[in-house]
């Protein structure tokens, strides 16, 4: 199934009191050096600071294809599985007002997403295939429902910033890419030692990028890299007892990020800084908690519910 949306005339605020590009990216180096030390004097409106113009600058699009497989409940078993392939584009959030027609992948533009859920009522206990009897056996072993879910998304698009450059930039500049962007990621990457972070193997090649030359804007676009995806496993077991038709007692046990205990890491550091190469493309955090998609640590939780 195909789905698509477009946002037209979306509001956006841009600072229109910047240094003119004819000066900032021009060829008069003497003038540019003066501008760098006296930037306020060379703005369009030097008597003001930032002048933010709010208007209908923005536009975004989202296109997706979705496949779904379903086995309806029968003989205690049900299954639902879906896969989505999509692409989302919007005006780059890091662009200046000079480039408001530019587009980039959005931070929520997960290209691949999948969800699988399998639920099974165990055929044990009164009226079932196994241990078809009442009493203690049925109270303890009968009526259990087991379920397993698997969810995943591909990596979030991220950009590359820079710090520690020896050059001057009167406007926001980006790094230059020295290789095709597909070659920036380390092939067959493995993290190695997770702690300390500088002992990790970098996720991207630092040699794939370079500082832009002085008084240039750099060539790399926004959101062209992609971080590792998230894969989250969950399983639960549930049973209900009815006491004298007045009370209902439910027991549920949940296991998160089990049985593989996969760490769902957050985005790595993508600030290009030749003065601190040990921090480049290393991971320092995890994604997820009990109420979020993903789980920072494997855990088991139990709950007891009484209705009356």
Tell me if 185 sits within 8 A of 160, measured CB to CB. no
Check residue 123 and give its pLDDT. 94
Ranges of beta strands (E only) in 187-229 are 209-210, 225-226
Check residue 290 and give its pLDDT. 43
Residue 1 lies in a domain: no
Tell me if 60 sits within 8 A of 106, measured CB to CB. yes
Question: Which of 298 and 215 is assigned the larger pLDDT?
Answer: 215
What's the rounded mean pLDDT across residues 161-184?
A: 93
Our count of domains for the chain comes to 1
Q: Provide the domain limits for residue 273.
A: 66-307
Other C-beta atoms within 10 Å of 140: how many? 13
Check residue 101 and give its pLDDT. 57
Evaluate if residue 291 carries a pLDDT over 50: no
Ranges of beta strands (E only) in 92-229 are 103-105, 112-121, 145-153, 157-158, 161-162, 176-177, 209-210, 225-226
Residue 295 lies in a domain: yes
Average per-residue pLDDT in the chain?
89
Rounded alpha-carbon distances, angstroms, from residue 105 to 17, 72, 89, 190: 27, 37, 5, 26
Evaluate if residue 205 carries a pLDDT over 80: yes
Choose the weakest-confidence range: 10-14, 99-103, 104-108, 267-271.
99-103
pLDDT tens-digit profile of 221-271? 889 999 998 888 889 999 999 888 889 999 999 888 877 777 788 899 999
Check residue 295 and give its pLDDT. 54
pLDDT tens-digit profile of 113-137? 999 999 999 999 888 888 888 888 8
Percent of the chain with pLDDT over 90: 56
Residue 126 lies in a domain: yes
Which residues, in sequence order, are CB contacts of 135 under 8 Å at separation 6+? none
Check residue 299 and give its pLDDT. 81
The tokens describing 169, both together, are 């930039």
Residue 282 lies in a domain: yes
Tell me if 203 sits within 8 A of 219, measured CB to CB. no
Evaluate if residue 162 carries a pLDDT over 60: yes
Residue 292 lies in a domain: yes
Residue 121 lies in a domain: yes
Check residue 279 and give its pLDDT. 95
Evaluate if residue 97 carries a pLDDT over 90: no
Query: In the block, which residue shows the tokens 């230059």?
Result: 176
Tell me if 226 sits within 8 A of 156, measured CB to CB. yes
What's the rounded mean pLDDT across residues 59-70?
A: 94
Choose the weakest-confidence range: 94-98, 147-151, 179-183, 247-251.
94-98
Evaluate if residue 15 carries a pLDDT over 90: no
Residue 266 lies in a domain: yes
The reported pTM is 0.82
251: β partners? 239, 304
Residue 216 lies in a domain: yes
Pairing of strands 271-272, 161-162: parallel
């Amino acid at each position: 199934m195909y789905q698509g949306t477009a946002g037209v005339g979306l509001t956006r605020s841009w600072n229109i009191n910047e240094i003119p590009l004819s000066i900032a990216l021009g060829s008069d180096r003497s003038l540019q050096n003066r501008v760098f030390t006296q930037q306020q004097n060379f703005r369009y409106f030097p008597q003001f600071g930032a002048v933010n113009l709010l208007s209908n600058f923005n536009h975004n699009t989202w296109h997706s294809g979705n496949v779904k497989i379903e086995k309806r409940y029968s003989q205690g078993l049900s299954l639902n599985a879906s896969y989505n392939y999509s692409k989302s584009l919007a005006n780059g959030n890091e662009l200046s007002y000079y480039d408001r027609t530019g587009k980039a992948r959005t931070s929520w533009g997960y290209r691949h997403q999948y969800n699988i859920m399998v639920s099974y009522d165990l055929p044990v206990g009164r009226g079932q295939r196994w241990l078809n009897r009442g009493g203690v056996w049925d109270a303890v072993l009968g009526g259990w429902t087991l379920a397993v879910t698997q969810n995943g998304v591909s990596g979030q698009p991220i950009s590359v910033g820079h710090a520690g450059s020896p050059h001057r930039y009167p406007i926001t500049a980006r790094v230059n890419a020295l290789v095709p962007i597909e070659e920036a990621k380390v092939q067959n990457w493995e993290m190695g030692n997770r702690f300390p972070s500088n002992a990790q193997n970098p996720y991207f090649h630092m040699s794939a990028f370079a500082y832009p030359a002085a008084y240039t804007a750099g060539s790399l676009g926004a959101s062209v890299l992609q971080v590792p995806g998230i894969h989250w496993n969950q399983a639960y077991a549930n049973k209900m007892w009815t006491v004298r038709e007045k009370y209902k007692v439910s027991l549920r046990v949940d296991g998160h990020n089990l049985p593989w205990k996969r760490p769902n890491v957050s985005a790595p550091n993508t600030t290009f800084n030749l003065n601190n190469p040990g921090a480049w493309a290393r991971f320092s955090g995890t994604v997820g908690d009990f109420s979020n998609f993903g789980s920072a640590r494997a855990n088991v939780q139990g709950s007891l519910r009484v209705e009356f």
